[in-house]
Structure 1
Amino acid sequence: MKESSTRTDPAGARRPRAVTFPPGPRERGRGGSRAEAQGPVPPTAGPHPGLDRLLDAVASAVGDVPALLSLARDAGRTWPQPGQGNTAALWELLASVTAVDVAAGRIFEPHLDALAILAQSGRDLRPVEGAWGVFAAEGPGARLEAKAGDAGVLLDGSKPWCSLAPLLDHAVITAHTDAGGRAAFAVDLHHPGVTCDEPAWIARGLQEIPSGTVHFNQVPAEQLGGDGWYFSRPGFAWGGMGVAACWLGGAVAVSRDYRDSLRAAAGRGREPDQIAFASLGEIDRILTSALQYLARTAALIDDGGLAGGGQPASANEHLQSGGDQRPGAERSPWSEALRVRGTVAAAVERVLALVSRDRGPAPLAFDEPYAKRMADLALYVRQHHAQRDDAQLGALTLKGEPPW
């Protein structure tokens, strides 16, 4: 990973640093054939305008959710969107914000993802205002239904895992339709038919971002695409990889904490031992590999190599679909998303384990930013479905999709 140089203010205090991807091989899809190597990926076109100011603002707003939502709204007006030629820059930005504060990344990512979903549906973003969320989770005892009638589509029922719903203005939300599938809808969360439960949020991580159940009673909604569009679009997989970029940004920050602690100890005359060097070397290897993988995948997205369908309804459905098993068949975005998310999640878990073990209990007990980052990231990465996602990928691999 290539990272920016350390930045300090006049008093010598540490300031936020961006996360940047290393150059890597560019791939271009050619008429549906296997992407072919086309030389190095040029580095992203320098830092995003105003990135340093944004990261400083995020650092100053840690713990202030309304302020972070305001920064996310501002970012949504200028940040790139996935699949439009600068996906690597988008993921670098997400990783950079998360490296400052994991909860901030957890706030920025769904707002930007919602804007991308709206754009992919053909919606004009110019009049879009407010803070947005994306609510697509399902849970036992909660079901949201969309009923079409003379007055348009109305939502009725409940939706679990709606993070920050009371503080948001709008959401992209999935609901069950009369046709038996699920579709995505844009909804105004200020409608009087929307009520939010008080979340029973006892987590020590992401304490400022509770997730609770939201209830809908005859709430008008605008459908985005047809039944199944939300899951079948390539942007579904791209968005899932954007979340992985956030996870990786958090791991970069934890690793910088570790490296800085070793440097500080050396400055006090306590040089790292072989165990510390081995851990730092393993962390470097893990992060560099994961960042290179994200850079390569971002280039593949922008070159059209991951523009096919998104998530199949199930692994078995994919096995029964008679999908292309030719060695030269185009990679599916969902199989690549499973690889990226699984690879990054494993990297994050390993970094957390190494750093926590080697730094011991003292910083967890007495270093508030470090303890917060560790708790936030440990919870955030649990969005990965672990062996269930690997089972999906295994089914796709059996069908003949792997690049190997």
Structure 2
Amino acid sequence: MGGDQPADLFAAAVTSGALDLPLPGGGRTRERWAALRALGEQDLVLARLAEGHTDALAILAELGGHPPVPPNSRWGVWAAVPGSLTAVEEAGGWRLTGERPWCSGAVVCTHALVTASAPDGIRLFAVANPNDPVDGTWPAVGMAASDSRTVRFTSTPAEAVGKPGDYVGRAGFWHGAIGVAACWHGGAVGVARALLDSDRTASDPHAAAHLGGVDAALHGAGVALDAAAVVIDAEPGGDARWLAGRTRAIVERAASEVLERVGRALGAGPLCLDATHARRVADLTVYLRQSHGERDLAVLGEQVAQSGDPRW
């Protein structure tokens, strides 16, 4: 795709059309997530940027009522902490003011979908990147190259997308959440290849056992993602919250097991001497924390208890 840095790869992928993925729920959701998995295996920062861009395009398609997407524009979804931005409607349209943290692709993205607090509730807006990142707000090691800095908005022109509450109320919100898990899965495959390519498994039964555990975990996660895609394609407008919670939990656990097993099997060597592997491990460790851990599991458990029939 050209270039060595994730931001360069992302820009090239947009220009080449490589990120023109099938929309979720359109009959090719498995293909969409397979593409995100492949990007995650290649480079997790690239996958993070690509996931935001492809999710933004899916959101715009689902909610509609917006101008055409500019050619070769690179989009992010900057929706953390909705109340950190305020939206005011004036004669010339909406304007946003405030500081939004966790904006992946703070410089490389040309446009973004952002949430903001408006007089009638939390709304989603499409904006051109104001290009005012706040220095020192992303001192990360893992996912460092994602440039997820805070971005400052100062009376920035914006266009409302949908109605108040539409961003989280639409079916596709949960489809996008599973797309993130597809990236996690790809990142875990990338980490696992260090063990697969090692010659230790031929002489060390403990390393072989860890490789077996990795194989089972990754296969199970892949099956869960594929099964979720089938459900979403069959019921694109259905409530996928439970499905997303289950799938994300399965993939997160598998990825965490891969990190643990590969580290125990190979020791400190690759983490200290293989820069690519060390970055994969650091990136995956941070990216997995986009999950809310036990809070997400608690929500899942409540859904299971209320259902009375989890169909295990």
TM-score, normalised via structure 2 length: 0.93
Residue 198 of structure 1 corresponds to which residue in structure 2? 135
Select the residue among 244, 249, 254 that pairs with 1:337.
244
Instruction: Letter of the 1:106 partner, please give it.
Output: R
Question: Aligned pair 1:300/2:231, yes or no?
Answer: yes
Residue 215 of structure 2 corresponds to which residue in structure 1? 284
Judged with a 3 Å threshold, the aligned counterparts in structure 2 of structure 1 residues 126 and 165 are, in CA distance, closer, same or farther, namely closer
SS at match of 2:174: helix
Select the residue among 124, 128, 134 that pairs with 1:188.
128
Residue 167 of structure 1 corresponds to which residue in structure 2? 108
Displacement of 1:77 in angstroms is 6.0
Give the Cα–Cα distance (whole angstroms) in 2 for the partners of residues 374 and 398 of structure 1.
35
Judged with a 3 Å threshold, the aligned counterparts in structure 2 of structure 1 residues 138 and 73 are, in CA distance, closer, same or farther, namely farther
Judged with a 3 Å threshold, the aligned counterparts in structure 2 of structure 1 residues 76 and 67 are, in CA distance, closer, same or farther, namely closer
Displacement of 1:401 in angstroms is 7.1
Displacement of 1:62 in angstroms is 3.9
Contact 2:14 2:73 in 1 (8 A): no
Select the residue among 183, 194, 203 that pairs with 1:257.
194
Instruction: Letter of the 1:185 partner, please give it.
Output: F
- Structure 1 unaligned regions, length at least 5: 1-56, 309-331
Residue 317 of structure 1 corresponds to which residue in structure 2? none
Select the residue among 48, 55, 67 that pairs with 1:113.
55
SS at match of 1:249: helix
Displacement of 1:168 in angstroms is 1.6
Question: Aligned pair 1:242/2:179, yes or no?
Answer: yes
Residue 101 of structure 1 corresponds to which residue in structure 2? 43
Residue 367 of structure 1 corresponds to which residue in structure 2? 274
Instruction: Letter of the 2:61 partner, please give it.
Output: A
Contact 2:19 2:54 in 1 (8 A): no
Instruction: Letter of the 1:115 partner, please give it.
Output: L
Contact 2:77 2:114 in 1 (8 A): yes
Displacement of 1:74 in angstroms is 3.1
Instruction: Letter of the 2:181 partner, please give it.
Output: A
Judged with a 3 Å threshold, the aligned counterparts in structure 2 of structure 1 residues 129 and 68 are, in CA distance, closer, same or farther, namely closer
Larger Rg: 1 or 2? 1
Where does structure 1 differ by over 6 angstroms across 4 or more consecutive aligned residues? none
Select the residue among 126, 139, 146 that pairs with 2:87.
146
Residue 75 of structure 2 corresponds to which residue in structure 1? 132
Displacement of 1:153 in angstroms is 1.4
Give the Cα–Cα distance (whole angstroms) in 1 for the partners of residues 299 and 49 of structure 2.
28
Select the residue among 135, 138, 147 that pairs with 1:210.
147
- Structure 2 unaligned regions, length at least 5: none
Contact 2:36 2:51 in 1 (8 A): yes
Instruction: Letter of the 1:361 partner, please give it.
Output: A
Higher helix fraction (1 or 2):
2
Contact 2:22 2:31 in 1 (8 A): yes
Give the Cα–Cα distance (whole angstroms) in 2 for the partners of residues 388 and 69 of structure 1.
35
